[in-house]
Amino acid sequence: MYTEDVSLLVCPRTGNSLEIAEIAKSASDGELLEATLRTSDGTHTYAVRNGIPRFVDDIGYNPTWDFKWRVLDGGRGLNYRIIDKSDPAYQIHDLFDRNAHGGGAYEHGRGGVALDVGCGVGQYSVRLLQDYGPSKLISFDLTGGVDVFRKVVEERYPELKRRLLIVQADIFAMPFKKESFDLVFSLGVLMHTGDTRRAVGNILDLVKPQGHVNFWIYGSEPVAYAVSEPSRGFVLNMRTITEIQTRFRRVQWWIRLFRNRLPHAWTVNILRFMSSDFMYRLVKRPRWRWLYQWFPTVDHPDAAYRLINNYDGYVNKWSDSWSEGEIFPLLRDRGFVIRGLSEWRLGFWCSKDPGFYAEK
C-alpha cells in the first residue's frame, strides 16, 4: 500500500479513521511493505505485511479457500487463465465478461473508486483496471489469495500497482466507509460466506448514491410449469430436470464425503488423482465416459487448473444456490434498481436510487 491509501480505510471495529503509526520497511517507489496502522483514537492497531493491510487474524469460516490459494495454487496464479480468451478456461469459468452487460456494468467505475469483493488471486481486478480504468481499485479477500495476487501483480502487471490497494479483510467486518464506492463488484464469492443475504447486504452498504453494484452468485434451477408455445424452443422439462437432479445428487454425495467424513489429506489425494492427466485422457474414451457422469470434473487440458477448480467445486463448505425471487427483495429494500440480469444465473447489475421505489 501507499501513504495515500490510508484515507481509504477505517477500523472495522469502530469505524474510526486510520493513520500510519510506524513504517518498518518501504520500497524505492514509496510503497509501504511493513508498517503499523493505528486508529485515530489510538485504541486499535493493524499490521501491514508484504505491502498488504491485514484486518483478520485467521481465515475463519471457510479454510478451504486459503488452502486452495496458498497450497494448490502456490503463487502460480492459475485462475488468470480465465481472463485469457484463447484459453479453454475462459469458456468454462469466465464470469467477468458474462456479467459485463455490454460493458455498462463496469463503466461506472471509470475514473472513480471501485471495490472487488472476494478478489481471490485478482484476475477480475486486473481486467477492471486494464479495460475500465478506475482511478483506484481496492481488492480484498479473506484468504492468503491476496499474497498470490500481490506476487502476480509484481511479476506481470507492475504498471497497475499504484492504482491498486490489496487488503486482507472479512466481508462481515470490512474496513471501508459506507457509501464510499462508485462501483462494487463480486463474482462467484458471496454464496461461499455461509450467510449470503448478509454478505450481499454488506456490499450494498458500500455503494454511493447513484453508484453501481454488480454481483454473481450460484443460481437455483428455474422450472417452467406449463410448456406449450412452439416459439419457446428448448426449456427444462421433466426429463431434463430428472437428469439435472441425478447429476446433482451424485456430486452432492462426493461433497458430503469430502466435507464431513474423509480426512482432508485423503480428499486432496482423491481429487489429485481424478484431476490427473491419466483420468483426463481416460474419460475421453467412450467406454469410460460413465466415470465423468459419476464424478464430474473440469474439462481443461492443464491438470493443475483441473485440480484447483475441482477442489473448489467439491470441498467448499458453503455453496448455496439462489433464485431471483429470494434476492430481489433485499435489493429493493435497500433502494437498488436492477439494470441488468446475467444470462448465466444468478447475476445482478444494479444502481442505487432509493427514490425509484418511493410512492408517487
119: CATH? 3.40.50.150
Report d(CA 358, CA 46) in Å as an integer. 42
Which pLDDT does position 110 carry in this prediction? Answer: 97
Query: For residue 33, is it within any domain?
Result: yes
CA-nearest of 1, 6, 295 to 177 is: 6
Which pLDDT does position 241 carry in this prediction? Answer: 62
Which pLDDT does position 167 carry in this prediction? Answer: 98
* Strand-by-strand arrangement of the 45-49 sheet: 18-26, 32-39, 45-49, 52-53
Q: Let me know whether 343 and 202 are in one domain.
A: yes
Instruction: Tell me the pTM.
Output: 0.92
Q: Let me know whether 26 and 124 are in one domain.
A: no
Q: Let me know whether 275 and 205 are in one domain.
A: no
Q: Are 95 and 120 in contact (CB under 8 A)?
A: no
297 lies in which domain range? 238-315
Report d(CA 315, CA 284) in Å as an integer. 24
Query: For residue 227, is it within any domain?
Result: no
Q: Let me know whether 271 and 243 are in one domain.
A: yes
CA-nearest of 141, 89, 93, 97 to 115 is: 141
Query: For residue 357, is it within any domain?
Result: no
Q: Let me know whether 194 and 301 are in one domain.
A: no
Query: Checking phi first, is residue 247 left (phi over 0); if not, alpha (psi -120 to 50) or beta?
Result: alpha
CA-nearest of 130, 159, 164 to 146 is: 164
Q: From first to last of its 360 residues, what are the pLDDT tens digits of the chain?
A: 999 999 999 999 999 999 999 999 999 999 999 999 999 899 999 999 999 999 998 777 678 889 999 999 999 999 999 999 999 999 999 999 999 999 999 999 999 999 999 999 999 999 999 999 999 999 999 999 999 999 999 999 999 999 999 999 999 999 999 999 999 999 999 999 999 999 999 999 999 999 999 999 999 877 666 767 878 776 666 566 666 667 677 777 888 888 878 999 999 999 999 999 999 999 999 999 988 888 989 999 999 999 999 999 899 888 899 999 999 999 999 999 999 999 899 999 999 998 898 865
Q: Let me know whether 148 and 47 are in one domain.
A: no
Which pLDDT does position 3 carry in this prediction? Answer: 96
Q: Let me know whether 105 and 214 are in one domain.
A: yes
Query: For residue 282, is it within any domain?
Result: yes
Query: For residue 230, is it within any domain?
Result: no
Query: For residue 205, is it within any domain?
Result: yes
Q: Let me know whether 83 and 16 are in one domain.
A: no
Query: For residue 60, is it within any domain?
Result: no
Query: For residue 58, is it within any domain?
Result: no
Q: Let me know whether 19 and 104 are in one domain.
A: no
Which pLDDT does position 103 carry in this prediction? Answer: 95
Q: Let me know whether 173 and 261 are in one domain.
A: no
Q: Are 279 and 291 in contact (CB under 8 A)?
A: yes
Which pLDDT does position 339 carry in this prediction? Answer: 97
For the chain, how many structural domains are there in total?
3
What sign has the CA pseudo-torsion 146, 148, 150, 153?
negative
Report d(CA 19, CA 11) in Å as an integer. 10
Which pLDDT does position 250 carry in this prediction? Answer: 75
Q: Let me know whether 20 and 83 are in one domain.
A: no
Grid cell, residue 270, equals: 482423491
Q: Let me know whether 285 and 305 are in one domain.
A: yes
Which pLDDT does position 306 carry in this prediction? Answer: 96
Which pLDDT does position 317 carry in this prediction? Answer: 83
